[in-house]
């Protein structure tokens, strides 16, 4: 009888499908411009770039579990807006058989890279050519990441970095009235979290990728700089990959940083004389080292799913004297107990923190400048009374931030329930 039961149990075990496990692949492609272009981010800067300080790259991490996929693409450009994001995304979706919600594309928001644009009436012809070349390179990097997939497991760690600082600096104007300007406000709140996702080959234990998110503008370099650079996020990515070696890929993402700048901000040049370490290099290295420290401390790894994702465009109320509503693209995804939230705008850090704190997942990565959408700042309601640059240029009404937080938490709860 014991032998019969053993045989029946063995047959049942063999007849039961193996549990799905996680697969991952990573890839990188160089996207440094080969000719001079208009650099993005500062309207006053009209001259073309004059050289390259450090290379630009696009990095992709492709994850798959039980037939569901999620591809996260970090690109060393300012962002993708308007028709450019559709131009970039559609060929990738079609060629790779991805669903719209399975593809996350975000700019690191460096202001020292060519502005992606397709309309020659509003940009230099070199930028149009660059954007078209960029589209084909992004397709390739996604294809390469998907082709590189192998059994993997992931772990998550949270560190902290002082690289970013609140940039809403209070001052008294000539009338003695309190105003807000862009500067450095060490007493202001910020989000110091360094979020790291470590991906390892499950069979060999070899690191494949270290994805990270950190809340700061990549604007250490200002409008007078004419050299191409990945700035803080890009230089952090480069440091991590060089330090860890062995072909590891380090996709970096800008967290909720609409009101956070790097400690050294909008500098006119990349200074090197008399042993001076250029501030973008200093800050990028400091951030990169914290990512490495955080990644090395991760002890718990999992190969579990599921992978699920949602993409949704919502209409938000606009400020007065503008259109009635403004569209905003939201992307929410999960890989097991790790969540990713993509927001197509420049988001104040308080919004990101509110989402992380209310998320039903133990780890929630915030990714901004993601999957196109609205051009502008998503500002917390309290800041409208203070004023300042972000409030003046925001297309959104004061209640928009609370609507976004509610919408995102709803999407995350929907993913958690499935």
Residue 10: which pLDDT band, with cuts at 50, 70 and 90?
very low
Please name the residue that has the structure tokens 């970090």.
74
Please name the residue that has the structure tokens 């009635």.
324
- H or E element in which residue 295 lies: helix 279-296
Residues whose CB falls within 8 Å of the CB of residue 309, separated by 6 or more in sequence, listed in order: 68, 70, 99, 101, 102, 331, 332, 333, 334, 415
Calpha distance 191→65 (Å, rounded): 32
The first and second tokens of residue 416, run together, are: 């958690």
Residue 375: which pLDDT band, with cuts at 50, 70 and 90?
confident
Q: Is the pLDDT of residue 263 over 60?
A: yes
Question: What is the per-residue pLDDT for 208?
Answer: 98
Longest dimension (CA), the chain: 96
Contact 101, 310 (CB under 8 A): yes
156: nearest Cα among 353, 340, 406, 415: 340
Calpha distance 375→317 (Å, rounded): 14
Please name the residue that has the structure tokens 């009374």.
385
Give CA angle at 302 (296, 304), nearest 5°.
150
Q: Which tens digits make up the pLDDT trace of 201-230?
A: 999 999 999 999 999 999 999 999 999 999
Ramachandran bin of 387, using left for φ above 0, alpha for ψ from -120 to 50, beta for the remaining angles: left
Question: What is the per-residue pLDDT for 380?
Answer: 98
Calpha distance 112→131 (Å, rounded): 15
Give 189-230 as a DSSP string: ----EEEEEEEEETTT--EEEEEEEE---B-SB-TT--EE--
Q: Is the pLDDT of residue 1 over 60?
A: no
Q: Is the pLDDT of residue 345 over 50?
A: yes
Residues whose CB falls within 8 Å of the CB of residue 249, separated by 6 or more in sequence, listed in order: 26, 27, 28, 59, 60, 61, 208, 209, 210, 241
Q: Which tens digits make up the pLDDT trace of 168-196?
A: 999 999 999 999 999 999 999 999 999 99
**End-to-end Cα, the chain, rounded Å:** 41
Residue 397: which pLDDT band, with cuts at 50, 70 and 90?
very high
Question: What is the per-residue pLDDT for 373?
Answer: 64
Beta strands in 113-185 (DSSP E): 150-160, 164-166, 168-172, 178-182
Q: Is the pLDDT of residue 118 over 80?
A: yes
* Weakest mean pLDDT among 64-78, 84-98, 277-291, 314-328: 314-328
Please name the residue that has the structure tokens 């995102």.
408
Question: What is the per-residue pLDDT for 215?
Answer: 98
Residues whose CB falls within 8 Å of the CB of residue 350, separated by 6 or more in sequence, listed in order: 189, 256, 380, 401
Residue 344 CA: distances (Å) to CA of 64, 80, 176, 207, 255: 24, 9, 37, 30, 12
Average pLDDT, the chain: 94
Q: Is the pLDDT of residue 102 over 50?
A: yes
Residues whose CB falls within 8 Å of the CB of residue 216, separated by 6 or more in sequence, listed in order: 163, 164, 232, 233, 254, 255, 257, 260, 261, 262
């Amino acid at each position: 009888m014991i032998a019969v039961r053993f045989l029946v149990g063995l047959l049942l075990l063999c007849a039961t499908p193996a549990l799905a496990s996680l697969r991952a692949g990573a890839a990188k492609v160089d996207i440094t411009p080969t000719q001079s272009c208009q650099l993005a981010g500062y309207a006053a800067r009209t001259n073309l770039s004059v050289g390259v300080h450090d290379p630009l790259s696009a990095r992709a991490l492709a994850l798959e579990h039980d037939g569901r996929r999620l591809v996260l693409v970090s690109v060393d450009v300012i962002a993708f807006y308007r028709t450019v994001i559709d131009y970039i995304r559609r060929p990738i979706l079609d060629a790779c058989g991805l669903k719209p919600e399975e593809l996350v594309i975000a700019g690191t928001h460096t202001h020292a890279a060519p502005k992606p644009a397709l309309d020659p009436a509003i940009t230099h012809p070199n930028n149009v050519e660059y954007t078209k070349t960029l589209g084909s390179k992004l397709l390739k990097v996604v294809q390469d990441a998907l082709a590189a997939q192998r059994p993997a497991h992931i772990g998550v760690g949270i560190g902290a970095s002082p690289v970013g600082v609140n940039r809403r600096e209070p001052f008294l104007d000539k009338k003695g009235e309190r105003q807000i300007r862009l500067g450095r406000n060490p007493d202001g709140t910020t989000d110091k979290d360094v979020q790291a996702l470590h991906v390892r080959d499950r069979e060999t234990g070899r690191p494949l990728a270290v994805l990270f998110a950190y809340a700061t503008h990549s604007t250490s370099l200002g409008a007078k700089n004419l050299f191409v650079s990945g700035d803080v996020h890009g230089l952090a990515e480069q440091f991590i990959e060089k330090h860890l070696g062995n072909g590891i890929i380090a996709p970096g993402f800008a967290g909720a940083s609409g009101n956070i700048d790097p400690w050294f901000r909008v500098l006119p040049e990349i200074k090197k004389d008399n042993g001076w370490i250029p501030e973008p290099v200093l800050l990028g290295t400091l951030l990169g080292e914290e990512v490495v420290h955080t990644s090395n401390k991760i002890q718990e790894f999992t190969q579990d799913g599921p992978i699920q994702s949602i993409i949704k465009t919502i209409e938000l109320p606009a400020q007065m004297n503008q259109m009635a509503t403004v569209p905003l693209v939201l992307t929410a995804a999960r890989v097991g107990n790790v969540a990713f939230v993509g927001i197509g705008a420049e988001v104040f850090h308080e919004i990101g923190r509110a989402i992380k704190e209310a998320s039903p997942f133990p780890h929630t990565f915030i990714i901004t400048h993601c999957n196109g959408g609205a051009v502008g700042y998503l500002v917390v309601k309290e800041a409208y009374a203070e004023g300042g640059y972000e409030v003046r240029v925001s297309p959104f009404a004061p209640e928009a931030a609370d609507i976004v937080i509610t919408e995102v938490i709803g999407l995350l709860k929907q993913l958690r329930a499935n």
